[in-house]
Structure 1
Amino acid sequence: MKQRFLGSIVAAALITTTAVADDALMQRFDKMEKEMNALKAELNTLKGEKEAAAKQSGTNTADVSKDLDDIKDQISNLNKKTNGNNVKFGVDFRTSVDNLQYTMADGSKQSNAAFLSNRLWLNMNYVATKNLSFTGQLAYNKAFGDRSKSPDGALSSYDGFDWISSESAYNDTMRVRSAYFFYQDDEFLGTDIPWTISIGRRPSTEGHLINLRDDDKASSPLAHTVNVEFDGASAKFGMENLIGLNGSYFKLCAGRGMSNAEPRFNSAPYAHSGDLETNDIDMVGIIVVPYDDKQYSTGFQYTHANNLIDMLNQNPASGMTTVGALDTATAFAMVNGVGNDWGEFLDNTILFASVAMSKTDPYANKTMLGSPDSKTGRSYWIGAQFPSFISEEGKWGVEFNRGTKYWRPITYGEDTLIGSKIATRGNAYELYFTEPLVKDILTFQLRYTYIDYKFSGSNGFFGTTTGMPMSMSDAVNAGYGGQIVDKAQDIRAYIRYKF
């Protein structure tokens, strides 16, 4: 009997220690607490039965009571240790192989037939109270073995740039990808407005729409214009009770992408640097979701970023310079389930469309995207995800992106090795299949991404050196035909473990 109860205790512990700090986590805590209470009640009943039986048989009831009290003590101790008083960990590990093919503007070819990489996300969560929690994530993302072109101070040093340090297949260093506290309450200043606030490192990656092909739960940003690692704060205010529209809310966001500061041992540590070429890069934004009933949803996002940068010249070792500001705006609509009870296939079909624009604001005597004048870029993105014909949990999807000559989002963190497909100045096509191998714990994905660039600079910075759009013929005439990608494709297969 004692082994039976200990087995139940261990099972409850395993359920809890792998939880993630969201609604599911709280539900698992509630479930565990109910199970603990049920076990205690059963023990009390069993204790009475055993003591009664012991009296009838002449057995020492004190021994029976002591054994059962020991089990109750173990349950109480385990309850204390698992009910929010320790950090809970989760694992997301992926091994992938990518076949990369490039056709340059001059017609030459570059490729990598099998680029192998491992990615580990170690998720950490701690729920201190009903209102306050902590979320963190350590990330490891590296190529198999040691990369022959590892960072050496030249262009490859940007592999570790803060905006993409956990998104690049880099080295075996474990990095802090996210770390922030999260506060939530049902009332804001006495009003019937639920609200949340978070501060820390909270990467704006895996946002709405890109999460579908990445097989992740959507984070708050609209990925059409923002997909990047960042440090900052956000506050969300639920408006459903106020305006009566399902799931409506707005969210304010602010972050810093670069801090201009002197080194630690300079005469004035961390003061603003005397280097006038760069300054603090700050971004502010607002996300508005007017309606979301889980089947039909729409959202809008506006951002403004200042002091954006580019390389001083073609030599990366020469450093960066500030070039100007950038405004972006995007809107999307999504249908998660076509119609009502029109059949299992349509019930599990997702359709979406998104439109976006970017507008540069060059500073005095500076150029952005090759021009001293403000330039507007536009993009649209459509896609669909369908249920698999192989399994009930599997899915497959198709997506298309198109961007104009001066299109410039901030999507450097997108999980596509050939460069952000969303940032494409041209056309991008994608097809993917995701299938479970062991429930939702072990999954397999096969993905094909093809990009046909009409202009260069899609994955550059914001100035002229790397961000200026050039047609393929102009690139050849300027002597850059072997350096500018005309067409690119990535065939990726991965196995992913999440628990």
Structure 2
Amino acid sequence: MKNIQILLVAILIMTVPAAFAADNDEKIKMLEKRIEQLEKLLMEQKETTDTKMVEQEKKISGVEELIEENEERLSDVEIRAWTDRLSLGAEMLTRVTNTSFSSGWDSEPYAYNRYFGTPYDTHGKPYLTAEEAGVKEESSNFWTSRARITFSGEAHERLRFRGSMTAFYNWADQDDDNSIRQPQQGRYPSSSSEMLLDKAYIEWDMAKGAVPATLLLGRQPSFDGPPYELKADSPRKSVYPQLFFDVVVDAAIVNFNLSNVTKIPGTGLRFTYAKTLQNDVNAYYGRYMKDEEGMDGEVYGLFFETGLPFKIASNQLFVLGYYSINDFYGPNSQGLTTGDTVLGDMAFTGAHLQFDNIMRSGVDLFASYGQMKFTPEDDKAFFGTETDEQTGRAFYAGVRYTLPSFKTKIGLEYNQGSEYWYRPVASDNPVEKLGTRGQAWELYFLQPMLQNKLFLRGGIIQVAYDHTGSNTWYYPVMDTDYGINSMYLELEARF
């Protein structure tokens, strides 16, 4: 019995730790399983957090990109707002000419002035002897360039500004003696390559309604007028036809638009006020228009412009014009020998008619007429010694045809002027044909290229003078057989 008890005690001692051990293993397994679940949960949370952080970073990056995009858009809007108000353009023209001169005088012993074809220079001294006057001279391979910057702005729908600056100069020319006169700024080559202001004015729409009124104030668009745009292949640049007036001028112009009244597009009435001489400024109007106290030269003009009641061309223009130059100041008698004074008055009357692309045929036609009356004051004289009233007349006509295949344009122009013909001029061509006291012909071609951004232009000008002193009002008028033949080639780029 005692042995059995000892055996049971031994068995109990051996089995109790095993039970405890089995229970502990079970608990350990459960703990390990929980740890695994917690680690898995932590990993899932970490992955979720990482994903959310990436998404958040993407959102932040997207917002930054949106901000940058909006900033760029705002910058573009600001730039567009600025460029909408102010626009810039540029033109560059280069010309080469070959010109020959020939002369012979019907009256000796007067000598020959190369520029004016007249027997006197600015000081009454002969340039050439009578024998030399009949000698033929040539100017070959002569190059000039003209750079122009155009600009315009709009501060208000009724207030605008337009302008341009031009440098017109001879190649490799270092002579500083040839100063540019005020009415020739940017219109005639100089020894300098400085930029000159040839146009700067505001347009103010003062009144609307049935008869809108616009004020133009400043340096006016007064040169390269119709029909210049045909040869230039450009929009109209001046309010005045080229035969009327072709110089740089500061003026005030009031335009009245009558299209609503006449029912004809482009109908208007224009009043012009300008000055040829201004008091108390000590300024010079060229070499011959210097200021003196108590003397003001003024210009008053009236111009009527309209289309036509019938339609036969893409663009139709008819202009009637009148202007008077009062108290014209300049050298009395021959050259500058007797001093400067008020010579008298001038009065211009003219008409211009133009048809562009008649019946869609590619043919353009124009014709201009002008006359200038000179009325000297007592004991004063125009044309050196002419103390009586004189009138000069001129006629100008031409045709241009556009070839349908290559858009090449070919033009032919003719003009003639009488013994006392003159109007204010400062041409950009070495041969100023429209002031001719005689006859002039011009044949030219024009080839637009690169979508009308580059233009090749060339031509021939032939002038036969019947009288001396073309483009002037101070030299004595004499008979002559002076002539000019000139060829030119130009390449012009517009930006």
TM-score (norm 1): 0.75
Q: Separation in 2 of the partners of 1:87 and 1:443?
A: 26
Quote the residue 1:251 is aligned against. 270
Partner of 1:24: none
Alignment partner, residue 419 of structure 2:
405
1:74-113 per-residue CA deviation (whole Å, 9 max, x = no partner) reads 1222222332466432111111111121112243112210
For 1:469 and 1:225, how far apart are their aligned partners in 2? 22
Does the aligned pair in 2 maintain the 1:231–1:257 contact within 8 Å? no
Give the Cα–Cα distance (whole angstroms) in 2 for the partners of residues 141 and 311 of structure 1. 28
Q: Is the 8 A contact 2:276 2:298 kept in 1?
A: yes
Q: Does 1:374 align with 2:389?
A: yes
- CA contact under 8 A between 1:100 and 1:489: conserved in structure 2? yes
2:120 aligned residue: none
Partner Cα distance (2:337, 2:168) in 1? 25
Matches within 5 A, 1:217-366: 217-218=235-236, 219-261=238-280, 263=282, 273-274=292-293, 279-292=295-308, 294-312=314-332, 320-339=340-359, 346=361, 348-366=362-380
1:396 aligns with 2:410: yes
Give distance in 2, aligned partners of 1:388 and 1:91.
Answer: 27
Deviation at 1:263, TM superposition (A): 4.2
Measure the CA separation in 2 of the matches of 1:441 and 1:204: 24
- Judge conservation of contact 1:84–1:128 (CA < 8 Å) in 2: no
CA contact (8 A) 1:433 1:446 kept: yes
Identity among equivalent pairs (%): 20
Aligned position for 1:72: 70
Report the more deviating stretch, 301-310 or 116-125: 301-310
Does the aligned pair in 2 maintain the 1:247–1:289 contact within 8 Å?
A: yes
- SS of alignment partner, residue 99 of structure 2: strand
Query: Shift of residue 144 of structure 1?
Result: 0.7
* SS of structure 2 residue aligned to 1:66: helix
Report if the CA contact (8 A) 2:303-2:320 is conserved: yes
Ranges of 4+ aligned residues in structure 1 off by more than 4 Å: 54-59, 312-319
- Take 1:367 and 1:408, find their aligned partners in 2: how far apart are those partners? 15
User: Which runs of structure 2 are paired with 1:12-27 in the superposition (5 Å)?
Assistant: none
Distance 1:427 1:104 in 2: 15
- Tell me, yes or no, if structure 1 residue 384 matches structure 2 residue 399: yes
Q: Deviations over 1:8-54 (max 9, x none)?
A: xxxxxxxxxxxxxxxxxxxxxxxxxxxxxxxxxxxxxxxxxxxxxx9
Question: Could you report, residue by residue, the CA deviation over 1:50-76 in whole angstroms, capped at 9, with x for unpaired residues?
Answer: xxxx99978732321321231122122
Query: Aligned equivalents of 1:389 and 1:311: distance in 2?
Result: 52
1:421 aligns with 2:433: yes
Partner in structure 2 of residue 172 of structure 1: 193
Task: Give yes or no for contact 1:84–1:126 (8 Å, CA) kept in 2.
Answer: no
- What is the CA–CA distance in structure 2 between the aligned matches of 1:248 and 1:262, rounded to whole Å? 38
For 1:261, the aligned partner's letter is D
Is the Cα–Cα contact under 8 Å of residues 317 and 354 in structure 2 kept in the other structure? yes
Residue correspondence of structure 1 range 109-120 to structure 2 within 5 A: 109-120=136-147
Taking the TM superposition and a 5 Å limit, the aligned residue runs for 1:200-211 are: 200-211=218-229
Q: Deviations over 1:149-189 (max 9, x none)?
A: x41xxxx45xx11111211110111111111111236x44x
8 Å Cα contact 2:102-2:482 kept in structure 1: yes
Alpha-carbon distance between aligned partners in 1 of 2:282 and 2:350, rounded to the nearest angstrom: 38
Q: CA deviation at 1:366?
A: 0.7
Q: Secondary structure at the match of 1:74?
A: helix
Q: Given that residues 55 and 61 in structure 1 are in contact (C-alpha distance below 8 angstroms), is that contact kept between their aligned partners in structure 2?
A: no
- The answer to whether the aligner puts 1:140 opposite 2:167 as a matched pair is yes
Task: Work out the CA distance in 2 between the residues paired with 1:439 and 1:433.
Answer: 17
Amino acid corresponding to residue 384 of structure 1 in structure 2: V
Q: State the 1:351 CA deviation.
A: 0.8
Distance 1:113 1:390 in 2: 34
1:213 aligns with 2:213: no
**Secondary structure in structure 2 of the residue aligned to 1:128:** strand
Count of residues in correspondence between the two structures: 402
Code of the aligned partner of 1:163? P
Note closer, same or farther for the CA distance 1:262–1:236 as it changes in structure 2 (3 Å cut): closer
In the alignment, residue 295 of structure 1 is paired with which amino acid?
N
Which residues of structure 1 form unaligned runs of 5+?
A: 1-53, 265-271, 473-484
Query: Please, what is the CA RMSD of the aligned residues?
Result: 2.6
How far did residue 141 of structure 1 move?
0.6
Q: 1:273 to 1:407 in 2, by over 3 A?
A: closer
Q: Contact (CA 8 Å) 1:203, 1:231: kept in 2 or not?
A: no
Structure 1 position 332, deviation (Å): 1.7
The two structures have a TM-score, normalised by structure 2, of 0.75
CA contact 1:139–1:174 (8 Å) conserved in 2: yes
1:401 CA displacement: 0.3
SS of residue matched to 2:307: strand
Higher Rg of the two aligned structures: 2
Alignment-mate amino acid for residue 462 of structure 2:
Y
Q: Distance in 2 between matches of 1:359 and 1:318?
A: 24
State the shift of 1:375 in Å.
1.1
- The aligned counterpart of 1:477 is none
How do 1:457-496 and structure 2 match up within 5 A? Answer: 457-460=469-472, 462-463=473-474, 466=475, 468-472=476-480, 486-496=482-492
Deviations 1:378-418 (A, max 9, x none): 211110111036612x31211100111121222x2222212
1:359 alignment partner, SS class: strand
1:498 to 2:494 alignment: yes
Structure 1: how far apart are the matches of 2:292 and 2:392? 33
Question: Structure 1 residue 184 and structure 2 residue 205: aligned?
Answer: yes
